[in-house]
Amino acid sequence: MSDLFWGISGINWALFGGGVAAVLGGVGSAIGITIASATVSGIVTEDGEKFGKLLPLAAMPSTQGIYGFIAAVLVLIFFNILGGDSALTGPQGFAVFLACLPVAFLGMFTGIYQGKTGAAAAGIVARRSEDSGKALIFPALVETYAVFALIVTVLMMTALQATFGG
């Protein structure tokens, strides 16, 4: 019965963790991009010359979806799920699921808040185009925590891979 945990196999727990990371990171990115793009679109409507300086502010929340995707791919590779040779027990798979949660939840929330921060920073560019570099700093501060979450998830999966002998 060690290959099941709450009636779910280890492989399924691991896949669930990778899926949650990819989906929540993608949701946060989509919402964040939508928030920032709404403001950026309004500014570009008034002054199309600012598009190039505003585009990074709208695009920055997309990284959280990328981080979730990376976590999902690492689950497949680290635990040999792609090779069809995975031997994860239920508790081991559950541990992989837990390791995916930092990037999943922080990716969702930081994506949304990075979009809000990017929208606010777009106001700087609207008024003072020459300060676009300064405006990028604010959403980049939010990005820091998404990167920390990815690092924690990767380190946890690396430790689990070493522990499970994979």
Is 21 within a domain?
Answer: yes
Q: Pick from 22, 33, 30: which is nearest to 66 by CA?
A: 22
Is 1 within a domain?
Answer: no
Is 6 within a domain?
Answer: no
Residue 166 confidence class, pLDDT cut points 50, 70, 90 = low
So what's the pLDDT on residue 1?
47
Q: Is 49 left (phi over 0), alpha (psi -120 to 50) or beta?
A: alpha
Structural domain containing residue 117:
11-164
Is 104 within a domain?
Answer: yes
Is 128 within a domain?
Answer: yes
CATH code of the domain covering residue 59: 1.20.120.610
So what's the pLDDT on residue 2?
60
Counting the structural domains of the chain, the total is 1
Is 56 within a domain?
Answer: yes
pLDDT at residue 108 is higher than 70: yes
